[in-house]
């Protein structure tokens, strides 16, 4: 496995140092599977850190304002949210613990559902417990199993979690989405194609090779538990505190047992505790899957989580032109340093 990087430098006369000549370092890293570039820029996390914390007063006022007509709060969830058609699910909604699974009013795919995760309208990141995630995952996977009984052709599911408006969520109340289509999302298609080629060329799975290589190298590896390995990617997709998890040997979401769902739930709750300590409050998660119709030896279900900017009057966003339109990656912290910070914080 090749972790390829090239270091380039730019020169400026720096006004902060009396116009002395200064060099800025750019590290171009190639993703070992996709070949996509991510530029690591040392010092950038510090430079943008003022945009990553939140204005507490503004946050609190938004929590109260959005609570008044929230469709997901316990008093409204049964009267203001859609139900599944009776022939799909007689009870109309799936309930697991505090999680409530409902169809999306508008949605993003032909099968688009929401998992309301909590009775609380707002949660700090430290309060996303493993039980909360686990119940949500069980609810989402119960929907997938029912969907497979009814529509055997539908193949590609993803779990998506956008928490708070900086992460693109229009509703404050904690909720996940499950989207299922007849065709994969672009990233899933790319990962499947590249994993297949890797398998043909090397006679082994990229994902198990990645885990064993990263475990040996230690610098980016975080921890494992219940069949799930956690690490900081060498060339992050988005690069704001990005962590990746891999579910060993399971190529689609229907193959996951309770043990592995728990592994994902536990790991997420740990990473969010780390984010909380850094004073972040917004994040995105994706869990990507191979087709539900077959097992693939060359692909493992995997997850990415990133933090997002804080809630502030300025509405700074890290979804700017370079990642959003040019499709390149930029890491604002050296991945190995991020891994070290997370490991220390979990001790
Ligand atoms: Zn609510």
Q: How far is the CA of 161 from the centre of ligand 1 (A)?
A: 16
- β-bridge mates for residue 180, sequence order: 111, 157
User: φ, ψ for residue 26 (rounded to 5)?
Assistant: -120, 125
Q: How far is the CA of 274 from the centre of ligand 1 (A)?
A: 25
pLDDT digits (tens, 9 = 90+) for 169-178: 999 999 999 9
User: φ, ψ for residue 188 (rounded to 5)?
Assistant: -65, -45
pLDDT digits (tens, 9 = 90+) for 229-269: 999 999 999 989 999 999 999 999 999 999 999 999 999 99
User: φ, ψ for residue 27 (rounded to 5)?
Assistant: -110, 115
Q: How far is the CA of 176 from the centre of ligand 1 (A)?
A: 14
Q: How far is the CA of 67 from the centre of ligand 1 (A)?
A: 5
Q: How far is the CA of 78 from the centre of ligand 1 (A)?
A: 12
List b or e across 105-131, with b for residues whose CB sees 16 or more CB atoms inside 10 angstroms.
eeeebebbbbbbbbeebbbebeebbbe
Closest CA to 210 of 229, 236, 194, 186: 229
**Contact, 237 vs 287, CB < 8 A?**
no
Q: How far is the CA of 92 from the centre of ligand 1 (A)?
A: 20
Q: Give residue 225's pLDDT.
A: 97
Q: Give residue 337's pLDDT.
A: 97
Q: CA angle at residue 40 from 36 to 41, to 5 degrees? A: 145
Map residue 330 onto helix, strand or coil.
strand
Q: How far is the CA of 114 from the centre of ligand 1 (A)?
A: 14
User: φ, ψ for residue 191 (rounded to 5)?
Assistant: -65, -40
Q: Give residue 43's pLDDT.
A: 87
Q: How far is the CA of 272 from the centre of ligand 1 (A)?
A: 20
Q: Within 13 A of 220's CA, how many CA atoms are on the CB side?
A: 21
Residues comprising the chain, all counted = 347
Q: Give residue 239's pLDDT.
A: 85
Q: How far is the CA of 122 from the centre of ligand 1 (A)?
A: 7
pLDDT digits (tens, 9 = 90+) for 32-49: 999 999 999 988 999 999
Q: How far is the CA of 320 from the centre of ligand 1 (A)?
A: 30
Mean pLDDT for all residues in the chain: 96
Percent share of the chain, pLDDT over 70: 100
How many other CB atoms are there within 10 angstroms of residue 326's CB atom?
11
Q: What's the order of all strands across the beta sheet hosting 4-14?
A: 4-14, 20-30, 37-41, 329-331
Q: How far is the CA of 172 from the centre of ligand 1 (A)?
A: 7
Structure tokens at 282: 């917004």
Q: How far is the CA of 120 from the centre of ligand 1 (A)?
A: 7
pLDDT band of 347, cuts 50, 70, 90: confident
Dist. CA 289–CA 313, nearest whole Å: 37
pLDDT digits (tens, 9 = 90+) for 306-345: 999 999 999 899 999 999 999 999 999 999 999 999 999 9
Using DSSP bridges, classify how beta strands 99-103 and 94-96 pair: parallel, antiparallel or unpaired.
antiparallel
pLDDT digits (tens, 9 = 90+) for 129-179: 999 999 999 999 999 999 999 998 899 999 999 999 999 999 999 999 999
Map residue 174 onto helix, strand or coil.
coil
């Amino acid at each position: 496995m090749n972790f390829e990087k090239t270091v380039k430098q730019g020169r400026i006369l720096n006004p902060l140092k009396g116009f002395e000549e200064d060099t800025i370092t750019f590290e171009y890293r190639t993703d070992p599977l996709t070949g996509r570039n991510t530029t690591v820029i040392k010092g950038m996390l510090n430079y943008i850190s003022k945009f990553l914390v939140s204005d507490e007063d503004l946050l609190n006022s938004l929590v109260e304002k959005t609570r008044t007509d929230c469709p997901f709060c316990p008093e409204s969830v049964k009267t203001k949210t859609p139900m599944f058609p009776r022939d799909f699910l007689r009870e109309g909604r799936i309930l697991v613990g505090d999680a409530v699974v409902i169809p999306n009013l508008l949605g993003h795919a032909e099968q688009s559902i929401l998992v309301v995760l909590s009775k609380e309208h707002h949660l700090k990141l430290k309060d996303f417990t493993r039980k909360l995630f686990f119940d949500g995952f069980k609810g989402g996977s119960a929907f997938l199993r029912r969907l497979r009984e009814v529509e055997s052709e539908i193949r590609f599911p993803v779990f998506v979690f956008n928490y708070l408006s900086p992460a693109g969520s229009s509703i404050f109340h904690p909720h996940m989405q499950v989207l299922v289509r007849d065709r994969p999302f672009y990233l899933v298609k790319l990962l499947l194609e590249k994993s297949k080629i890797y398998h043909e060329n090397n006679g082994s799975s990229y994902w198990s090779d990645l885990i064993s290589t990263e475990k040996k190298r230690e610098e980016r590896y975080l921890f494992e538990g219940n069949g799930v390995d956690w690490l900081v990617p060498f060339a992050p997709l988005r690069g704001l505190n990005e962590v990746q998890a891999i579910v060993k040997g399971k190529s689609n979401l229907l193959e996951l047992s309770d043990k592995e769902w728990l592994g994902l739930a536990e790991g997420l709750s740990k990473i969010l505790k780390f984010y909380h300590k850094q004073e972040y409050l917004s994040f995105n998660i994706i869990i990507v899957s191979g087709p539900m119709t077959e097992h693939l030896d060359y692909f493992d279900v995997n997850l990415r989580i990133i933090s997002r900017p804080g809630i502030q009057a300025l509405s700074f966003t890290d979804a700017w032109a370079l990642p959003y339109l040019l499709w390149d990656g930029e890491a604002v912290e050296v991945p190995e340093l991020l891994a070290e910070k997370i490991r220390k914080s979990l001790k």
